[in-house]
Structure 1
Amino acid sequence: MSVLKRVQQWATFARIWHVYDATWQNPFQSAELLKKYLMGIHKPIYHPMNDCGDHVIVINSLDIALPGNEWAKRVYFHHTGYPGGATWTLAWELHRKDPTMILKKAVYNSMDGNLQRRYTMERLHIFPDGNVPPELMGNVSNQIRQIRPMPKRLDHYTKEEVEKFPKIIDYPKDYILR
């Protein structure tokens, strides 16, 4: 086997480390995207019984965005296994307790039917902010694009950009805002 073919084969079977920024992203749509990388569906050698998935580091899970009024309506169920151990927790309460849990549960549920999802989840590393240990970030070689582009906040525009933006109305100089 030539050196080129050997490197090509090694690159095909290697586990790649990806980073994904979850800022202002829907966790359920993100879960479908991350599932492809965790299970290895994006690789040409994929087979359901073949464990060829990659590692994914998710940063900024504290800043996820649920659609509509999902923060108040979505409920997560947990049971301890003991009588009377059933609890239902609203999404905002769960997110306040553990900012990584909603995204973790979304990815876990998106892999329904995968016989190896418990072991696949071990390759998912979620962090509530951008503070990732350097030994993990040293492995990263790819970035997964966000599903939705992050809008630019109004205070991040320069004064010149704000002044050049077309106005609907020009208030008179003596106008008093209430």
Structure 2
Amino acid sequence: MSTAIGNTGLAYARLWHLVDARGQVLGRVSTRIATTLMGKHKPIFDPAADCGDYVVVINARDIYVSGKKAEQKMYYRHSGYPGGLKEIPFARLLERNPSEIIRKAVKGMLPKNRLQNPRLTRLLIFPDDKHPYAENITKIYDTKVPLPCVPIE
């Protein structure tokens, strides 16, 4: 069997996508990121092959959640010892480490298999708009989800 890729070599090339998270809904932008990391947007997608692209997320500090999630959402972790359950509210995690919010949301949307960690290493999240990958970016997501409008009374 030949190992030559042939004409589909460009399809296997990993592109760099830029996602601006300012004002975007956390769940909606996370599904787009997970799809890109898996490579489902490519015609050569195979669930058993790692053919996804790189994703650079900027302005993670300005992510938006709908409803009362900003006050009510909790993130949990457990040390493995009795009484070792730790919880941190969304608002506190947003001010301490905003990139972790997007990372946890995307990780929950990826398949739980041996390809999850290599895909997450291609996710690069920055809290503001400064990042060192400006020359690598080939695609920019410009799919802004409009914020809910509140009627003026």
- TM class by smaller structure: 0.7 to 0.9
Match of 2:25 in 1: 26
Q: Indicate conservation of the 8 Å contact 1:55/1:124, yes or no.
A: yes
Gaps of 5+ in 2: 149-153
Q: How many residues align?
A: 144
Q: CA offsets per residue over residues 62-116 of structure 1, 9 Å max, x none?
A: 0001101101111110112333221111110111110111111100001144441
Q: CA offsets per residue over residues 100-147 of structure 1, 9 Å max, x none?
A: 1111110000114444111110000000000101xx221111112234
Match of 1:118 in 2: 117
Structure with higher Rg: it is 1
Matched, 1:64 2:63: yes
Q: Indicate conservation of the 8 Å contact 1:18/1:144, yes or no.
A: yes
Question: Which fold has the larger relative contact order, with Cα–Cα distance below 8 Å and residues 6 or more apart in sequence?
Answer: 2
Report the TM-score when normalising by structure 2: 0.86
Matched, 1:145 2:138: no
Shift of 1:39: 0.6
Gaps of 5+ in 1: 152-178
| RMSD over equivalenced CA pairs, Å | 1.9
- 1:49 & 1:79 partners in 2: Cα distance? 31
- 1:97 & 1:123 partners in 2: Cα distance? 22
Match of 2:92 in 1: 93
More displaced 10-residue stretch of structure 1: 107-116 or 65-74: 107-116
Which residue identity is paired with 1:60? N
Do the aligned partners of residues 123 and 106 (structure 1) sit closer, same or farther apart at CA in structure 2, a change above 3 Å counting? same
- Secondary structure of the residue aligned to 1:42 is coil
| Higher helix fraction (1 or 2) | 1
- Return structure 1 stretches of 4+ with deviation > 6 angstroms: none
Which residue identity is paired with 2:71? A
Match of 2:9 in 1: 10
Report the TM-score when normalising by structure 1: 0.75
Match of 1:108 in 2: 107
